[in-house]
Structure 1
Amino acid sequence: MLDNMLSYSGGLVGLIILILDLIVIFEVMNSNREITGKLGWSLLVFFFPVVGLILYFLLSGRSEHNARYEAIV
């Protein structure tokens, strides 16, 4: 039983990373960054999914570039 659960855990982790990558790419495309910044972040996340996610959430300055988002009150 445990072996069966462990065999599917890699697929679940991959699915979670894919979903997070898609969220980051959509967030980058909707930000007010220049096109080179959008392209750079998108390529980083596309070619290095795990490292790109970590770097994006740590270094991207998301609060500065999310002017297009409206606050939900």
Structure 2
Amino acid sequence: MTLSFIQNMGGGSIIIFLLFGLVYGILWIYCLVDILRSDFKDSNMKIIWIVVILFAQLIGPLVYLAMGKSTKITTYS
């Protein structure tokens, strides 16, 4: 079933899916590294954000980018 779906998609669709996957992978890694390098107001927030990123695969990084900044400690140097 899946093999025939891929064969009928054509070359352009496969490239779009690969680009989407690459962009999503880069976004996921960026969010995970940002969480690990950041300090949060609550010490448990780092663990909570990691769990959100790992288990909410599609919307986890988007939720972190939208809401994560308000839970970080901002330091100005």
Q: Which amino acid aligns with 1:57?
A: L
Offset at residue 3 of structure 1 (A) = 2.4
Structure scoring higher RCO (CA < 8 A, sep ≥ 6) equals 1
Structure 1: runs of 5+ lacking an equivalent: none
Match of 1:29 in 2: 36
CA RMSD of the aligned region, Å? 2.5
Counterparts of 2:64 and 2:72, CA distance in 1:
13
Q: TM-score of the superposition, structure 1-length normalised?
A: 0.71
Matched, 1:38 2:51: no
Q: TM-score of the superposition, structure 2-length normalised?
A: 0.68
**Number of residue pairs matched by the alignment:** 68
State the 4+ residue runs in structure 1 displaced beyond 4 angstroms.
none
Q: Which amino acid aligns with 2:65?
A: F
State the structure with more CA Rg.
2
